[in-house]
Amino acid sequence: MKAFSYGVFLFVFWLLLSGHFEPLLLGLGLTSVVLTIFLAKRMNVIDHESYPVHLSSQFPAFFVYISREIVSANIDVAKRIMKFRCKSISPQLIEIPVPQKTDMGRVIYANAITLTPGTVSVELTKDKIIVHALTREAADDLSAGSMAKAIPDQVVEK
Amino acid sequence: MIIDILSWSCLLGGGLLGVVGGIGIHRFPDFYSRQHATGITDTLCAMLILLGLGLQAGMSFATFKLALIFMFLFLTSPTASHALANAAMHGGLKPKLDSATGKDES
């Protein structure tokens, strides 16, 4: 079932990338999709990590949240760069807990931290992330943990 | 006309942010804080430029490809930044921290 939806997804992807609708090219595209599915199935790589459909319901809200965070963080860092008169940054190295239960959730959390300018995740372990923050405010915001709640995190039943 | 104005303001805004990011790389004191400046060019700068180009292209296959570039940037750029920072930390590069906090640098 998962392989089938993956195949449909791949074929639509192929159509949109190529833009060809002649029967011969459609057939060739379909053949390559089927071959890809066959190989992926044999290699056993169509799982919840490479093809995380179970997160798709949570993703739009997360995307809106992270976009807003990115824009506000960008404006903040840009302002600090352009502040020539006084010292505008106060770099911090902090450790924050990772409440996510799955590997996927942890990785998304670490990447979301890095994606917002002003904070970079330096090291990720099972239960904590070491973060380098450009300012004390950014570090405090992160420690407050509002971002952790927005991360898509869902345990998949095997 | 309105689309032109929107797309050009996006393109110009993106370009401006790129310049600001470049200034930031030169202004900030050490590797880790410089990474925050490159974070600007990685995220909002690239997004605005891609959005501006997409508005210029209209509804076409080119726009879809631009959206794909956006998606791959969205997924790969934080991974690359994290790999860089992690490698620097493991290589023993100490970040310059704000001395007023009283935290030690170990």
Q: Find out whether A150 and A105 touch, Cβ atoms under 8 Å.
A: no
- Interchain CB distance below 8 Å, A90 and B100: yes
Spacing of C-alpha A65 from chain mean position: 12
Mean pLDDT of A139-153: 81
Mean pLDDT of A26-40: 92
* pLDDT recorded at residue A83: 80
Question: Does A158 map to a domain?
Answer: no
- The position carrying tokens 């993956």 is A6
Question: Do A106 and A130 fall within a single domain?
Answer: yes
Q: Is the pLDDT at A87 greater than 80, yes or no?
A: no
Question: Does A48 map to a domain?
Answer: no
Question: Does A122 map to a domain?
Answer: yes
Q: Give the model's confidence band at A157: pLDDT under 50 very low, under 70 low, under 90 confident, else very high.
A: low
- Distance (Å) from the C-alpha of residue B84 to the closest C-alpha of chain A? 9
Question: Do A119 and A145 fall within a single domain?
Answer: yes
Chain A hits for B68, CB-CB cut-off 8 Å, are 17
Question: Do A25 and A62 fall within a single domain?
Answer: no
Question: Does A50 map to a domain?
Answer: no
Q: Give the range of the structural domain holding residue A35, as residue numbers without chain letter.
A: 2-43
Question: Do A89 and A145 fall within a single domain?
Answer: yes
Which residues have CB under 8 Å from A27's CB, separation 6+? none
Question: Do A92 and A137 fall within a single domain?
Answer: yes
Which of A19 and B79 is assigned the larger pLDDT? B79
| Count of Cβ atoms closer than 10 Å to residue A1 Cβ | 5
- Distance (Å) from the C-alpha of residue A80 to the closest C-alpha of chain B? 9
* CA gap B49, B13 in Å, rounded: 8
Question: Do A85 and A136 fall within a single domain?
Answer: yes
A111-114: long-range pairs with CB below 8 Å, 24+? A111/B75, A111/B78, A111/B79, A111/B82, A112/A66, A112/A69, A112/A147, A112/A150, A112/A151, A112/B78, A113/A142, A113/A147, A114/B39, A114/B78, A114/B79, A114/B81, A114/B82, A114/B85
* pLDDT recorded at residue A56: 81
Question: Does A28 map to a domain?
Answer: yes
Q: Give the model's confidence band at A50: pLDDT under 50 very low, under 70 low, under 90 confident, else very high.
A: confident
Question: Do A9 and A34 fall within a single domain?
Answer: yes
Interface with B, mutate which of A55, A93, A124, A151 (most B CBs under 10 A)? A93
Chain B hits for A115, CB-CB cut-off 8 Å, are 39, 43, 74, 77-78
- Interchain CB distance below 8 Å, B43 and A132: no
Question: Do A74 and A115 fall within a single domain?
Answer: yes
| Count of Cβ atoms closer than 10 Å to residue A3 Cβ | 12
ipTM > 0.90 (yes/no): no
Question: Do A78 and A28 fall within a single domain?
Answer: no
Question: Do A35 and A77 fall within a single domain?
Answer: no
Question: Do A122 and A72 fall within a single domain?
Answer: yes
Q: Is the pLDDT at B68 greater than 60, yes or no?
A: yes
- Which range (A10-24, A50-64, A103-117, B37-51) has the least confidence? A50-64
Number of CB pairs < 8 Å for A and B? 111
pTM recorded for the entire structure: 0.83
| Count of Cβ atoms closer than 10 Å to residue B101 Cβ | 14
Residue among B17, B25, B82, B24 nearest B51 (CA): B17
Question: Does A117 map to a domain?
Answer: yes
Average model confidence (pLDDT) for chain A?
85
Spacing of C-alpha B78 from chain mean position: 9
Q: Give the model's confidence band at B103: pLDDT under 50 very low, under 70 low, under 90 confident, else very high.
A: very low
Interface contact A86, partner B, CB < 8 A: no
| Count of Cβ atoms closer than 10 Å to residue B3 Cβ | 10
pLDDT, one tens digit per residue, over A103-124 is 888 888 898 889 888 888 988 8
Question: Does A157 map to a domain?
Answer: no
- Interchain CB distance below 8 Å, B61 and A17: yes
Question: Does A8 map to a domain?
Answer: yes
Q: Find out whether A72 and B80 touch, Cβ atoms under 8 Å.
A: no
Count of the separate structural domains present in chain A: 2
Question: Do A37 and A74 fall within a single domain?
Answer: no
